[in-house]
Structure formats: C-alpha cells, structure tokens
Amino acid sequence: MSMESRKSAYEALLERYKNLVVLQTATWLLRWDMRTMMPPAGVSLRSEQLALLERLSHRMATDPEVGRLLKEIMGHPGFESLGEVERRNVELIKKTYDEATALPEELVAETAKQRAVTVSVWEKAKAKRDYEPFKPELGKLLELRKKAAELLMEVKGTKTPYDALIDIYEPKMTAEKIDRVFGELKSGLVRLIDKCLSSEQPRIDFLHRAVPIEVQRRISRAIAEFVGYDTWSEKAWGRVDESEHPFTSGYYGDIRITTHYYEDAFYKSLFSVLHECGHALYDHNLPEEWRYQPVGEACSMGFHESQSRFVENIVGRSHEFWSYFYPKLREMVGVLDDVELQDFVRAINVVKPGKIRVDADEVTYGLHIIIRFELEKALFEDKVDVDELPQVWNERYEKYLGVEIQHPSEGVMQDIHWASGSYGYFPSYALGNIIGGQLLDVMQRELPDWGERVTAGSFAEVREWLRMHVHRYGNLYDPPRLIEVVTGSPLQVEPFLKYLEEKYSKLYGF
C-alpha cells in the first residue's frame, strides 16, 4: 500500500468515525430531553427511539468496511511511522470496533430500551420511596450488563467481567488496583473524619434558610459566568436546566448541564452547578482540531471527575473563592446578613457523615464511593442480588458512615447510575478526587498565586492552567500515562490526603 492509499484509508476511517460521533450526539440529546423536558407519557416512544439509534450506532461501529480499513492501515509496514495522533486515532477506533463487534446488535438494542424503561421507573419509584416496582427492572438491566461484561471480558482481555466494565470508564484500571488505592484512601479518610468529629462543630442552620427557586436560578447563572461556562453571549455553548439528578451532556459547542433546586437548601444547587461546570469546561476545551476524532474526547471518567471536583471543591469551597463571591451571594439571597464569611466557609465545608452522596463533604465523600464499588463488585461476582441490595447497602452505610437509612430513596435508589446501567462508573468519582489532589500539588508550584487571582474575581488563570495541563491532551494518552505526563508521578493518594489534612486542620483547628 502506497503512502497515498494509506492516507486515503485513514481519512475514510476518520470520516466513518465522525458519522458515528454525530449519531451518538443525537442519542445524547434525546437522553437529555428525557431527563429534562419530556412529558411522562413519552417514555414508551423514547425507549423505541433510543433502541433504534443504538442499533444504528452499533451497525456503524461494526461495519465490515471499518474492519477492512483498520486491517489495511495497521497491516502496512509504515504504520509505526505514523504521527502520534494518527496512530492513537487508529488504535482507539480499533478498540471501539473490537468491543462493538463483541456485542450482538440485539443485546445492544435491548439494553438501550431497558435503560430508558428502568430510568423512568426509577424516577417514579424514588419519588414514592418504594424499591419494589424498581427492583424487577433493575434486575433485567443488570442481567443485560452481565451478558455484555462477559463478552467484553474476552475482547478486552480482563480477568473478570466487572473489570471489563470498569475499563469502559477507566482504561487500564482493574478492581484489584482500585482495591489497593481505595484501601489507602479509606484509612486516611477515617483518621481525618475522627479528627473533625472530635473538634468543635460549626453552625450550619443558616444553610437551610428558605431561598426562592428563582433566586437560586440567578445564583446558577452567576456561578456559570464566573467559571466561564457561557450561557449568555451570542456564541453561547451552554445552558442550565433542571433534572432529578444533575448531569452534563454534550459535545464541544453544545454542552448542557442540569441541577436540582431545593428551596430550603440553596447550597445544593450552587455546588452541583460548580461541579457540572467543571465537566462542561473539559468537554468544551478539548482541542478543536481533534473534533470528531477519538483523540478529541476526554481521557477517562476519572479525569472528568477530577475536573468537576476541582472546580466544585478545591476552588468552589475555598476561602479564596468565597472572599470574592460571598458578598454577591449575600445580596442575592437576602437571608445571610447575620452570617460572617468565615462562618459560611466553615459551614459549607462541615464534615458530617450523611446518607446522600451528592450532598457529602470532601472528607466523607470517598466512603460513599467505596461502598458503591464494593457492592458493584459483589453484584458481578454474584455475592449479592437485587433482592438483597437495599439491606446490604443499609448495613454498609451504618458500618462505614454510622448513619441509618430510613427508606430506599435515601439509600440504594438515590443515584441514577445503576438505573441507567452505568456499572463500573462509580470508582471514577473517587479516582477523580485523587487525581485532583495531584493536579493541585502541581498547580500550587506552577501558579502559586492562583488563590489571589480567584479572590480578585478571576477564574481565568485556573481555567487556562487546567486547559493546558489536562484538556489539551484529550484522549491522546491512557489515564496512567496522562497522570505521569501532567504530574510526573503515577496515581498517588498522598497529595489528596495532604490537601484535605491541611485544609481541614485550619477549618477545625486541630
């Protein structure tokens, strides 16, 4: 094959991948609409629409012509001489092709349909605090994911089916590695929790003063504007909507986030908007020249979570950020005139074991993830089934966090992930915190005045630092390699624990 024909085959391969991406973004838009705008009666049609789109995506991903082009390019003696980006694109498309061809079209379509049904039933069951109607649908979806995991295990070369699912969200990661990392994380968190709970506790009652939803919407817009999530200009690429569970969805120039408002807990939407904006900035700031290419996507969900947790917690719960933003918040809500800045900062950082993951503080949050990881692993090892799930969940929460679950909506049904079939996703949240700690360690050396910039009302310097150190690399490297490229070290728990220790020793005075 000549250089010209190899180039032509590569361009044909990228064109096919672009078509697949465009179709998938249409699927994301339907899912966004399902969770934000769609009337309840639309679930039946939506499940059929999503199933059809998944069929079409699967056919495009498994087209024999893709296999032929891959063979032609990778079989050429000059393959290794391709540029780094071109070679990575081919390798990622090959990975996608191998995984897609491992899954029968019927299984893909059936799973998409069941996902839509299970999410719809979950929303209703959660509102009624009743696990029973949700249980059979969850069981059906779990079995479908187990079938997929068994098939993917072979093509991915993993030791277990669960590892095959983890690899979807966190390439090159295994349950065994996560066990080791989480063991170190858990030990450090438990020690810090004990220190915080043994210290004088801050006042938090004022966080539950009533703030009208419309005021909270204005706060969301102000937060989005501060971090640079554009929902207002003529070239706006974002929007903030409302859903039961906050999420981010989109691609490059159309990145949408959602939040959920509570009149008696205004801080919840505030921090969920910061969190989702972190995701949105990552998706938007990927290199434009890589749009529609495999390298033009996020490295992993762990890196994605590092960005959202960085914006939400490392910046968003810092004294520096609130030195700037608190006067504005005070003016908007009108119910905090008697609360000083330091008391507010201590309140939003209170360490208090609780039942709800999305409401958890930075210190206890990791234990929420460790519980979910342990239960997912048990589900795929057939050590726990859907009938036992609520009871085992409740037992772990009492053991790890010392809280008693009263009903399944504050327990096993609180998250959408299992209802949408996203098994293997949860570990990425805690991995994101760990990566964020390593990123902060580097940023403090390279941008030592970042806090002063934020206090002065500018997030631009931090945003640009994240773009240059994470966003611009897209999916050029697997996560273990990107960690080393950015920080000079492999994945390490110690920087995150050090950050927490320094921050909370100041807040709690120990």
Q: Which residues are catalytic?
A: 276
Mapping DSSP to helix (H, G, I), strand (E, B) and coil, where does residue 355 land?
Answer: coil
Cβ atoms of 319 and 345 within 8 Å: the answer is yes
Name 256's bridge partners: 239, 249
Structure tokens at 126: 């959660």
- Residue-wise burial string across 85-123, b where 16 or more C-beta atoms lie within 10 A, e elsewhere: bbebbbebbbebbbbbbbbeeebbbbbbbbbbbbbbbbb
Closest CA to 190 of 353, 354, 312, 393: 353
Cβ atoms of 371 and 427 within 8 Å: the answer is no
| Distance in angstroms (rounded) separating the CA atoms of residues 85 and 71 | 18
Identify the H or E element spanning 111.
Answer: helix 105-128
Structure tokens at 172: 């090159």
DSSP letter string, 200-256: PPPP-GGGGS---HHHHHHHHHHHHHHHT--SSSTT--EEEEE-SS--EEEETTEEE
DSSP letter string, 86-101: HHHHHHHHHHHHHHHH
Q: Which residues contact 98 (CB under 8 A, 6 or more apart)?
A: 155
Residue 258 DSSP symbol = E
* CA 435 vs CA 50, 206, 305, 397, 502: distances in Å: 34, 33, 9, 25, 17
